[in-house]
Structure 1
Amino acid sequence: MRVKLLLLHITIVFINSCDDERLTLADLDGTYEGNFIRSSPYAKYAPAQVTLTFANGQFQGANEKTKYPAICNGTYEVEGDKVEFINACIWTAEFDWSLILSGEFYIEFEANTLTLQRKNGDITDLYQLKRK
């Protein structure tokens, strides 16, 4: 009986240790630099260099090209493999608002490399960033 209980205990400990590591807000804190790449089978887009800073559930960013992508500041929430950005800035109407860093992205974070990806129809937005 003791052996069975010991095996059961070891199995439970092993299963609990195999749970997926969940990304938290604190995991992302820091400044990241890299590229924004928009792609589509129907158009060619140039990449852009971007900087994003995350701190305590808030973000801010900058880029080399005006409103490509449109990054300002706001808040974000992480849930599973997704992050949702809530952009706090007021935008003018003369550009493509799908370029605003807002809404839901799939997120991957490994070894100080952050990847954000979103699909909107045939357009894919991809942020490939490294922690500074």
Structure 2
Amino acid sequence: MRQLLAIVLLLSVIGCSKDKENDPGKLIPETGGIYKGTFQRKTASGGAIVSVTLDLTGNTFSGQPATPGRYPVIGRGSYTINDNKINFVDSLYYTADFDWTLILYREYELAKQGDSITFTRNYNNHAWDIYKLKRQQ
């Protein structure tokens, strides 16, 4: 009976640690890190995929696309994680001469797999912003 209890206890501890590993909030360590990957504004007609870099340090972020332009706009500011959502608050000011929905701002669904994170945002089922990033350091 004690052996059975010990096995059940061991399995529950292993299960709990695995859940913590899959917690999106645990993927982004307090010490931060550089994440590199891609961004796509996916629509019914496709959507260009571009390389991006994102620095997540503490609860702050900054970044940029690999090519000049405003697709996407990754400024700088702060972020918070709550369950499977990540919320970005950009602290920069922008001119009105481009599509502001391309700014990394507001709430995205957050998922992780290994050392990679993906966050997505749905625009009324007509378009999706998709960031697929892998931790570099």
Same fold (TM over 0.5): yes
Match among 71, 81, 84 for residue 81 of structure 1: 84
1:62 counterpart residue number: 64
- Kindly provide the amino acid, as one letter, of the partner of residue 125 in structure 1: D
CA RMSD of aligned residues (A): 2.2
- Kindly provide the amino acid, as one letter, of the partner of residue 40 in structure 1: T
Q: Distance in 2 between matches of 1:70 and 1:78?
A: 20
Percent of matched pairs sharing the same residue: 30
The secondary structure found in structure 1 opposite 2:95 is coil
TM-score by length of 1: 0.82
Q: CA deviation at 1:9?
A: 7.7
1:118 counterpart residue number: 121
- Kindly provide the amino acid, as one letter, of the partner of residue 43 in structure 2: S
Larger of the two Rg values belongs to structure = 1
Structure 1 stretches of 5 or more lacking a match?
none
Match among 39, 46, 49 for residue 47 of structure 1: 49
Where does 1:89-104 land on structure 2 (aligned, <5 Å)?
Answer: 89-104=92-107
TM-score by length of 2: 0.79
Pairs aligned (count): 128
Structure 2 stretches of 5 or more lacking a match?
none
CA distances 1:59-91 after superposition (whole Å, capped 9, x unpaired): 000112311101110101111111111111111
The secondary structure found in structure 1 opposite 2:47 is coil
Q: Distance in 2 between matches of 1:127 and 1:32?
A: 10
- Kindly provide the amino acid, as one letter, of the partner of residue 128 in structure 2: T
